[in-house]
């Protein structure tokens, strides 16, 4: 490896290393060993071959010196040819070993990335909804990508680099000292001129690199938010395009300035270190030539020393920054483990049972609930704040008790923020209650299997979410084994057949991010079709018709009635006209049930329900046809 390449490598490592001075954690090392254990055979072979490669790398300069000596001594041509052939054989061996070690390196690294990404992805999937409401998606994705790759470098680069460089250094020093200890000592005295500027300049470049990364991150966030369909709409409605452009341009100009400054520092740095390498070679050739002319050193030895010099500085420079490389890899591992150490609040109990077959009753028994405190469900680094609020969540539900018989419907009404959606979210176990119990068919939801719960409870939220995938994929999320006939059947029942047939690719048409290629009503009807495909025994409708106009609402009324037929239903509605036919209406205020009864009974009592009803219709709110009657 040339001095120039060594300079670039030293600078790159210093720039991209995570500056962290924490001590080694034995727990972290044990966990790393746990991930390395399945790949120990590949790692062992990788290290062995790295040592062999390092030894062969030193052999070539020595043989080159012997060739020069043979030429100077006038030896037979066969001697020179044999030495040249031996050099060629070593070159072939090095090339072959380079391919094998590269395969082993990539296999170890990619297998580790697979293991870590799968572990993080599966773990995050088990986190409660509160985790996702607090976490910045970009920060979480960065853990899954950048930090996992950083951890992988510990095996594919750092580990082999330390071993290979150490072996190369020892062998090179032994050989050089054997040739001339005086020249070797003087060469080592030049080392600080090479290493110290690398570390100092690398630190300055690392600061610039981090500043540029921060600006790029902010610009990326700005673009991600502004370029999404809802973000672009918000900017067009309320934003200030000129101010947005000025802010973006200011950061982009700073990144440009940093780029120019970084390029100049890199150029000065590499030029200076290349000059040092030239001075070192001049020292070897000058002092070595002096000894050779006096008969104290062979001419070939001078050539060998010159060639070995580059193989001495490279591992010395790499080992000088080895601690930084190792710490950087450890930091990446710890950031990944930080995610894995967040305990999911919702976990399936050992010995969990399936919900019994047949119609399902719903019962809330003295339920109290508070959303979990931030430090229980999130990380400061994922929210990009200094510290998380450690205070406990305030209670939002108090002594909620009611029962819905199989096939019956309960409606939850009340002011915004009263706790209606929170009650609905406890049924599919998005959260666990603090006290009391939520029961399905008489079984506590904390005692049933997750698969059974997903098959039993279906939900359509106010903002029906769709993935940036095809219509088919979004539907099959509910029932992957569904046939083409099943898909068209639920689309027909959701009054979407004509729309899907008009799309360019039919069922395979991509609906766009969050389904924004469809209108609000079309998007909501597609989520209702997904519910119909799932065929749950308990249906939750959380303002399921909130985004429908009168025409669209009328189109899905029949489908909703069919979807609820024979099923237990929990319906949340602000428009009271849609829940008159409910078997039981619960009025929720301040996280408590303040009234209960059917539509007629509650109007007769002239309480909170009657007040809401009069307020809604006396203000001219149109009375829509009854969805569920």
Beta sheet of 538-542, edge-to-edge order: 457-460, 538-542, 568-572, 409-414, 584-589, 592-597
Instruction: Please indicate whether residue 88 or residue 306 has the higher confidence score (pLDDT).
Output: 88
To which H or E segment does residue 16 belong?
helix 3-16
CA distance 98 to 92: 10
Q: In whole angstroms, what is the distance from residue 115 CA to residue 337 CA?
A: 13
Q: How confident is the model at residue 620, as a pLDDT?
A: 44
Residue 345 lies in a domain: no
Whether residue 240 contacts residue 525, with contact meaning beta carbons closer than 8 Å, is answered with no
The DSSP bridge partners found for residue 411 are 571, 585
Write down the pLDDT at residue 627.
Answer: 33
Assign residue 555 a region (left: φ > 0; alpha: ψ between -120 and 50; beta: otherwise).
Answer: alpha
The CATH number of whichever domain residue 44 belongs to comes to: 1.20.1560.10
Mean pLDDT score, 22-46: 78
For the ranges 107-121, 394-408, 451-465, the maximum mean pLDDT occurs at 394-408
Closest C-alpha among 530, 365, 371, 349 to residue 440? 365
Instruction: Give the residue-averaged pLDDT of 13-26.
Output: 52
Same domain, 312 and 407: no
Domain CATH code at residue 370? 3.40.50.300
* pTM listed for this prediction: 0.68
Q: What is the pLDDT of residues 225-242, one digit of tens each?
A: 677 666 776 676 666 777
Q: 568-572 and 409-414 as β-strands: parallel, antiparallel, unpaired?
A: parallel
Give 582: exposed, middle or buried? Use CB within 10 Å, 0-12, 13-18, 19+.
Answer: buried
* 206-215 confidence digits (pLDDT tens): 677 767 767 7
Residue 359, classed as helix, strand or coil, is: coil
**Is residue 10 in some structural domain?**
yes
Give the CA count within 13 Å in the CB-facing half-sphere of 197. 18
Residues 298, 191 share a domain = yes
Residues 292-301: tens digit of each pLDDT? 888 888 888 8
In a domain, 627, yes or no: no
* Helices 181-189 + 191-227 axis angle, to 10: 40
pLDDT band at residue 217, thresholds of 50, 70 and 90? low
As a whole number of angstroms, the distance between CA 184 and CA 169 comes to: 12
333 in the same domain as 462: no
Per-residue pLDDT tens over the stretch 519-547: 777 888 888 888 888 888 998 888 766 65
Ordered alpha helix ranges (H), 180-321: 181-189, 191-227, 229-238, 241-293, 299-320
Say if residue 130 is in the same domain as residue 271. Answer: yes
Do residues 610 and 466 both lie within one domain?
yes
Instruction: Identify the band that residue 549 occupies on the pLDDT scale cut at 50, 70 and 90.
Output: low
Q: What is the mean pLDDT of the chain?
A: 79
Residue 368 has pLDDT above 90, yes or no: yes
Residue 163 · residue 46 · CB < 8 Å: no
Give bridge partners of residue 587 from the DSSP assignment: 413, 595
Question: What letter does residue 449 receive in the DSSP assignment?
Answer: -
pLDDT digit string (tens) for 429-485?
A: 988 899 999 999 999 999 999 889 988 998 887 777 788 888 899 899 888 898 999
Residue 154 inside a domain? The answer is: yes
SS (H, E, C) 525-588: HHHHHHHHHHCCCEEEEECCCCCCCHHHHHHHHHHHHHHHCCCEEEEECCCHHHHCCCCEEEEE
Whether residue 623 has pLDDT greater than 50: no
What's the rounded Cα separation, in Å, for the pair 499 and 511? 12
**Helix/strand/coil percentages in the chain, nearest 5:** 65, 10, 25
Q: Indicate whether 209 and 305 sit together in one domain.
A: yes
Percent of the chain with pLDDT over 90: 12
**CB–CB of 316/168 below 8 Å?**
no
Instruction: Verify that 34 and 81 share a domain, yes or no.
Output: yes
Q: What pLDDT score was predicted for residue 10?
A: 53
* H/E stretch holding 175: helix 160-179
Reply yes or no on whether the pLDDT at 21 is more than 50.
no
Query: What's the pLDDT score for residue 294?
Result: 82
Please, which pLDDT band fits residue 342 given cuts at 50, 70 and 90?
Answer: confident
Is 624 inside a domain boundary?
no
Same domain, 333 and 434: no
Q: What residues are paired with 400 via a beta bridge?
A: 367
Same-domain check for residues 278 and 422: no
Is pLDDT above 50 for 20?
no
Same domain, 535 and 582: yes
What does the angle CA 175 – CA 177 – CA 179 come to, to the nearest 5 degrees? Answer: 70
- In angstroms, the CA 89 to CA 533 distance is 67
pLDDT score for 447: 93
Whether residue 207 is contained in a domain is answered as: yes
Handedness of CA 413, 415, 416, 422 (dihedral sign): negative
Same-domain status, 125 and 260: yes
Is pLDDT larger for residue 458 or for residue 16?
A: 458
Domains in the chain, number: 2
Nearest to 416 by CA among 542, 540, 523, 234: 542
Distance CA 460, CA 440 (A): 19
Per-residue model confidence (pLDDT) at position 385: 60
CA distance 236 to 230: 10
* Residue 625 falls inside a structural domain: no
Mean pLDDT of 373-391: 66
In a domain, 347, yes or no: no
Q: Are residues 330 and 374 in the same domain?
A: no
Task: List the domain range (segments joined by +) for residue 373.
Answer: 362-380+390-618
Run of H or E residues at 437: strand 435-440
Phi, psi of 106 (to 5 degrees): -65, -35
pLDDT bucket at 79, cuts 50 / 70 / 90? confident
Mean pLDDT of 146-174: 75
How far is Cα 193 from Cα 200, in angstroms, rounded to an integer? 11
Going by their DSSP bridges, the two strands 584-589 and 592-597 should be labelled as antiparallel
Which two tokens mark 273? 């270190």
Asked if residues 152 and 333 have their Cβ atoms less than 8 Å apart, the reply is: no
> How confident is the model over 169-205, as pLDDT tens digits?
888 888 888 888 888 888 777 666 666 666 666 667 6
Tell me what pLDDT residue 66 has: 81
pLDDT at 548 over 90: no
């Amino acid at each position: 490896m040339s001095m120039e390449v060594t300079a670039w490598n030293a600078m790159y490592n210093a720039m991209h290393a995570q500056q962290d001075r924490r001590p080694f954690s034995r727990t972290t090392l044990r966990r790393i060993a746990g991930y390395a254990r399945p790949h120990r055979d590949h790692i062992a072979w990788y290290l062995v071959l790295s040592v062999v490669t390092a030894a062969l790398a030193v052999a070539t300069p020595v043989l080159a010196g012997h060739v020069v000596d043979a030429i100077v001594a006038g030896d037979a041509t066969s001697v020179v040819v044999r030495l040249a052939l031996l050099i060629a054989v070593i070159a072939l061996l090095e090339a072959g070993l380079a391919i094998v070690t590269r395969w082993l390196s990539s296999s170890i690294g990619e297998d580790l990335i697979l293991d870590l990404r799968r572990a993080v992805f599966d773990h995050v999937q088990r986190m409660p909804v509160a985790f996702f409401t607090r976490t910045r998606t970009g920060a979480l994705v960065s853990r899954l990508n950048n930090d996992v790759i950083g951890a992988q470098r510990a095996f594919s680069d750092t580990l082999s680099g330390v071993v290979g460089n150490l072996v190369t250094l020892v062998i090179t020093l032994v050989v050089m000292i054997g040739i001339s200890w005086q020249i070797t000592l003087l060469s080592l005295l030049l080392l600080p001129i090479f290493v110290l500027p690398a570390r100092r300049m690398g630190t300055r470049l690392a600061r610039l690199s981090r500043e540029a990364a921060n600006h790029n991150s902010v610009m990326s966030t700005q673009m991600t938010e502004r370029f999404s369909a809802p973000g672009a709409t918000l900017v067009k409605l309320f934003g200030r395009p000129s101010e947005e452009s000025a802010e973006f341009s200011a950061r982009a100009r700073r990144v440009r300035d940093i780029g120019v400054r970084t390029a100049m520092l890199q150029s000065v740095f590499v030029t200076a270190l290349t000059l040092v390498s030239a001075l070192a070679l001049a020292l070897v050739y000058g002092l070595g030539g002096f000894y050779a002319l006096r008969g104290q050193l062979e001419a070939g030895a001078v050539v060998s020393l010159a060639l070995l010099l580059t193989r001495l500085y490279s591992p010395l420079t790499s080992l000088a920054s080895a601690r930084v490389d190792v710490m950087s890899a450890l930091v990446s591992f710890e950031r990944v483990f930080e995610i894995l150490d967040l305990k999911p609040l919702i976990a399936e109990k050992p010995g969990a049972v399936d919900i019994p077959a047949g119609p399902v009753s719903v019962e809330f028994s003295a339920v109290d609930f508070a959303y979990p405190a931030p430090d229980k469900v999130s990380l400061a680094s994922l929210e990009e704040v200094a510290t998380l609020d450690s205070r406990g969540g305030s209670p939002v539900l108090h002594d909620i008790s009611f029962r819905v018989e199989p096939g019956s419907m309960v409606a939850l009404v009340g002011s915004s923020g009263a706790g209606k959606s929170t009650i609905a979210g406890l049924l599919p176990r998005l959260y666990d209650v603090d006290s009391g119990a939520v029961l399905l068919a008489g079984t506590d939801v904390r005692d049933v299997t997750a698969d059974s719960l997903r098959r039993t409870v279906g939900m359509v939220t106010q903002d029906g979410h769709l993935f940036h995938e095809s219509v088919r994929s979004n539907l099959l999320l509910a029932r992957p084994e569904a046939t083409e006939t099943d898909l068209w059947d639920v689309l027909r029942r959701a009054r979407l057949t004509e729309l899907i047939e008009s799309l360019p690719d039919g069922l395979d048409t991509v609906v766009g991010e969050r389904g924004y290629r469809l209108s609000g009503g079309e998007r909501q009807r597609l989520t209702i079709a997904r519910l119909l495909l799932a065929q749950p025994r308990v249906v939750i409708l959380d303002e399921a018709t909130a985004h429908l106009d009168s025409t669209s609402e009328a189109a899905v009324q029949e489908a909703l009635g069919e979807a609820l037929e024979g099923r237990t239903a929990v319906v949340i509605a602000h428009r009271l006209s849609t829940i008159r036919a409910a078997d039981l209406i619960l009025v929720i205020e301040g996280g408590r049930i303040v009234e209960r009864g059917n539509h007629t009974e509650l109007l007769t009592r002239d309480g909170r329900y009657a007040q809401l009803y009069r307020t809604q219709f006396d203000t001219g709110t149109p009375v829509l046809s009854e969805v569920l009657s």
